[in-house]
Structure 1
């Protein structure tokens, strides 16, 4: 079940990230400004973020067995729309990207599904493995541009739609919820209101907005950053984005495993401190080889580990009956954390012809998060 859930997460994230590698191409073909290009790649992020709130509550009610095939099948529609019709204008791309955000909600389906299958002492590692499905963005980064060159603009969208269709059928037949799962009573709104009153919900949301939001923001904006800041080719920038994603993907289960051994609070402090140091160094736009590469890969590992540790924190502190609702809210915070930075980066570059202010702001935010995690590390947890 863990493997099947991780595969579904990866496939949906592959679809969710299809627009990012093509951002430079759309910018040239449609004459987009830096802000319009940033908006194009950010729209699926914010919709996928907000959509996790109702999807998490629905997963508590109906289970992952129902919700994973449903989300995967629904994501096929915007994938085909963009590939066949919506790539010819900015308004159509924004509409398609809005509904493409459905793919990003798969995260809120998988966390409660996986959480229920494992005992508390192993949930950090299990959720970290599931979280590695965010590597679907690496699949997109590595394959989208080559597939366009090998065929045409529709090719990657058709292939992704076919993969989602196969997975939806497989999940409907094979996927199972954990034995003994009891569907919660009451309305979804009431369960969300209960989850919103839990301290762990907002603590984890703030951390995840930085950890996963930072990962999403950097991964989707990295091709633009590298092409503008370092004059790389589109293919080279996409490949380097894939490397960033792969490092973060490997680090996420590592963060969960370390959290099982040493506690999520310690892992978060170390990871967020590393993000702050690396972002501060990159704010000066050092030479890409070796310093720029080192800073970005350090951020990738640290953000991936922090993302894994965040849901080890959720697994430890959230009541079992509300894991889906808490996950939806926390996941939404992470996605929203990825929505704002690309827009800020575009604004900063247009204003200062430099990405330095945006990276300096990331460094300051990471430093503040370290202080917050340390202050709350020994805060009494509700029974």
Structure 2
């Protein structure tokens, strides 16, 4: 059986095809994962939702997509990313079809929960793409595959226009067609990664014993959670506070998601050459600063956009830096570590919309929710500085 080192120095075609297809498939999956955010105003009207119900709907897909990253990442390591990716995309077709048929909020939540499986594509993509590249190139390679997060931006740009032109159900027919196309292309053009059939679930779960797994999870809770939360909440903020229409709000949401995604491989590439933890402390400081700008900007749309842009750039850079370190935590268990780190990061996208919606309903203010983000950034900065900057722990030398 081929080893990871053999693969890393093997067929360049297989490596770059794996990287390309894993990225494109993740884009399509993330479009499904984030489908409700750009359509939130329309869905709220159709189902007569309160602010709390709307934020619950936005958060629900994130829940399953986060928790299930752990087992899906382990399965990808054990049985192969190609197989798992194809099975995952076939499954996603079910809730996409369900959404076109539901008529109650309860059933819509069930469909939203199931479509959350699309978020596990991240764990599969990282596991599948990473084995084709040597360690010194993995920061850049994983930054590229993680650009599949761009699916959030693509959804924000396209889905409101499709809904406005062809109707609500046309959105989900469009997503189903894209998913079927990717299933076929993945089956034809991608080669399965080498796997270790003797690997056990308990062995993969051993990564939970590594303290570095949990530190990276905490940091990713902030950076990736911020990406998911703000991609979903930006249209809500712009619509509720500034009265921006759904299509324009979707464009701003796409801007945020695009900045977060495009800067990610730059952060990963920089982490190939510089000490990652040293860069992360500045990421957390910048997130705190730009979050403060957002908190103070709810009377000025222009300042709000500046805060969103700055936060997106800082969070995206941080995402790239963090995932440079993932393959070093436990050799041969990249999918498992990705699952844990990605799961906690996804939960960072699950809770904030709920908390923000609850605080808004209780106090009538969004500012308190943003203040909690600043506190979280400062906690991450303190932990990072104490453990990795002043301490003697080094994930990557």
Distance between the aligned counterparts of 1:216 and 1:79, measured in 2?
20
Question: How many equivalent residue pairs?
Answer: 377
The corresponding residue for 1:18 is 35
Query: Does the Cα contact within 8 Å between 2:79 and 2:195 map onto a contact in 1?
Result: no
Query: Does the Cα contact within 8 Å between 1:57 and 1:191 map onto a contact in 2?
Result: no
Query: Does the Cα contact within 8 Å between 1:68 and 1:109 map onto a contact in 2?
Result: yes
The corresponding residue for 1:141 is 156
Query: Does the Cα contact within 8 Å between 2:205 and 2:336 map onto a contact in 1?
Result: no
Question: Which runs of 5 or more structure 1 residues have no equivalent in the other structure?
Answer: none
The corresponding residue for 1:335 is 346
Question: Which runs of 5 or more structure 2 residues have no equivalent in the other structure?
Answer: 1-17
In the alignment, does 2:383 pair up with 1:372?
A: yes
Distance between the aligned counterparts of 2:395 and 2:118, measured in 1?
33
SS of residue paired to 1:380: coil
In the alignment, does 2:361 pair up with 1:350?
A: yes
1:287: Cα distance to partner?
4.5
* Counterpart among 215, 218, 222 of residue 230 in structure 2: 218
Distance between the aligned counterparts of 2:275 and 2:139, measured in 1?
9
After superposition, where does 1:85-96 map in structure 2 within 5 Å?
85-86=101-102, 88-96=103-111
After superposition, where does 1:6-155 map in structure 2 within 5 Å?
6-83=23-100, 85-86=101-102, 88-155=103-170
Query: Does the Cα contact within 8 Å between 2:23 and 2:146 map onto a contact in 1?
Result: yes
CA spacing shift, 1:168–1:342, aligned 2, 3 Å: same
Query: Does the Cα contact within 8 Å between 1:226 and 1:237 map onto a contact in 2?
Result: yes
CA spacing shift, 1:167–1:25, aligned 2, 3 Å: same
In the alignment, does 2:183 pair up with 1:172?
A: no
In the alignment, does 2:196 pair up with 1:183?
A: yes
SS of residue paired to 2:168: coil
Distance between the aligned counterparts of 1:281 and 1:238, measured in 2?
21
1:187: Cα distance to partner?
3.1
Distance between the aligned counterparts of 2:160 and 2:211, measured in 1?
43
SS of residue paired to 1:7: helix
Distance between the aligned counterparts of 2:206 and 2:288, measured in 1?
34
Which consecutive aligned stretches of 4+ in structure 1 deviate over 6 angstroms post-superposition? Answer: none
Q: Deviations over 1:103-152 (max 9, x none)?
A: 10000101111211111111111111111110001111111111011111
The corresponding residue for 1:302 is 314
The corresponding residue for 1:260 is 272
The corresponding residue for 1:250 is 262
Distance between the aligned counterparts of 1:308 and 1:238, measured in 2?
24
